[in-house]
Structure 1
Amino acid sequence: MKLSGDLKEFETRIGYHFAAPDLLNRSVTHASMSSANRDDNQRLEFLGDRVLGLVMAEALLALDPSATEGQLAPRFNALVRKETCADVAREIDLGKVLKLGRSEMISGGRRKQALLGDAIEAVIAAVYLDGGFDAAKSLVLRLWGKRVTRVKEDARDAKTALQEWAQARGYPPPKYVQINRSGPDHAPVFTIAAQLENGAEAQATAPSKRAAEQAAATKLLARMEQPE
């Protein structure tokens, strides 16, 4: 199977050329485009998620031999979560080469966080099957780049960190209130306020409720931890 011009350019962007091009084609084929003669990327996504996890676990252990499991876990989660995967996918313009059904194309599938995150995992699996673990590891570390070396133990889930801060001071858990929702159905934008019982509040806007809540929690925690 030959690759299209767009996929050949994509190979150059990721720095890997496939011996079996059909693997790359399958990795960028969404379920909305699958048929009896065309496999989608769901099984590859399942495998790629595990390969990504192993690469990151190895990398974090090597970077900090003295780190405890409690320190490593939040760093690991920050590197493999769907938001991070989608960010990496955007950087290599993965959305441009995705093969989507009409309904997904109309609904803005090339920009959807979940779809992009799943697709980059499928690409990782395709490289793993094509060139082995070392090739997949090299790809992941190259694409994630400085994210791996910069991740810190305080990269833990911002909502969890804010809740821990509140509980340590005798406050109930923070509340998250949707202030606004704008944009079309295929590309919504949410504004969420994180609120503490003492009246402190911070707002953030993002393409998903989860991302907006995390951003608002990050802002509020940073504000509360500032020295008076």
Structure 2
Amino acid sequence: MPGQAKNPEELAVLLDHEFKDISLLKAAVTHSSLIKGKGSKAKGEDYDRLEFLGDRVLGLIISEELFRRFETAEAGQLSRRYNAQVRRETLAEIGLKMGLQDYIQMADDLSAAGGRENPSILEDVMEAVIAALYLDGGFRAAHKFIKSKWWPRFDHKDASKKDAKSALQEWVAKTGRSLPCYSVVEETGPDHDRRFKVMVEIPDYAPATGSASSKRAAEQKAAAKMLKELQSD
């Protein structure tokens, strides 16, 4: 049997925020499978709506800090730094480091299949938690949490590194070719653990493929593989 999720009130202590409305945090860590799943008897809200808001709150706070911190950086450089901080892998990594997975409430079958460690779910829950902090304590509460987890990452050696898709796009632009074309050629696995295989094509070159748990990550892997081939020619 999968382990039971920890009490959200313990998570509030970890977040260093005294919630006036703890139901916001409870919803932030509740997967839809527990509320809307077949045979579910649980009541309440899941994190879907909160995730939508949290994504925007995180984006604004990260954007503002990058704008202030890197005064001489051009827009493209800021975009690369921004993308590095808000991508799924970053949110999932931060979530795992703080033990967020232990608080996610979901259906037993999904938990048994490793749902609590699923990067996509961790990303959504992280964004929902940010929204819960924002709604309960305002901008200051959300900013305090994001500052504690994200600020140390800004000067990481890969924070301003050009991602594979951007690098590939720049390469084709310099050579006068058409933009890379990405397409999903295979999609497998259950809803909570999807795998995507993406193919990237450039005229006059053999296509390359990449597989990952999200389309975006699969595109990056395909682009990286294509770049490696181009650079070896």
* Alignment TM-score, normalising by the size of structure 2: 0.72
Correspondence 1:183-198 to 2 at 5 A: 185=190, 187=193
Contiguous gaps of at least 5 residues in structure 1:
none
* Structure 1 residue ranges, 4+ long, deviating more than 4 angstroms after superposition: 172-182, 188-205, 222-226
Q: Which residue of 1 aligns with 2:17?
A: 17
Residue identity matched to 2:18: F
Q: Which residue of 2 aligns with 1:115?
A: 121
**Mapping for residues 132-151 of structure 1, pairs under 5 Å:** 132-150=138-156, 151=159
Find the counterpart in structure 2 of residue 100 from structure 1: 106
What RMSD in Å do the two structures reach over aligned CA positions?
A: 3.5
* Native 8 Å contact 1:192 1:204 kept in 2: yes
- The 5-angstrom pairing of residues 15-164 of structure 1 reads 15-20=15-20, 21-34=22-35, 37-102=43-108, 104-105=110-111, 108-150=114-156, 151-152=159-160, 154-156=161-163, 158-164=164-170
Distance 1:49 1:188 in 2: 21
Q: Which runs of 5+ in 2 are unaligned?
A: 36-40
How far apart, in 2, do the equivalents of 1:221 and 1:118 lie? 31
Residue 133 of structure 1: how far off its partner (Å): 1.6
Could you tell me which amino acid in structure 1 is paired with residue 116 of structure 2?
R
User: Deviation at 1:121?
Assistant: 0.8
Count of residue pairs the alignment pairs up: 220
Distance, in Å, in 2 between the alignment partners of 1:140 and 1:116 is 16
Q: What TM-score, normalized by structure 1, do the two folds share?
A: 0.74
Identity between Structure 1 and Structure 2 (%): 38
**How far 1:59 moved relative to its partner?**
0.8
Q: Which amino acid aligns with 1:211?
A: A
**Structure 2 Cα separation of the partners of residues 222 and 141 of structure 1:** 36
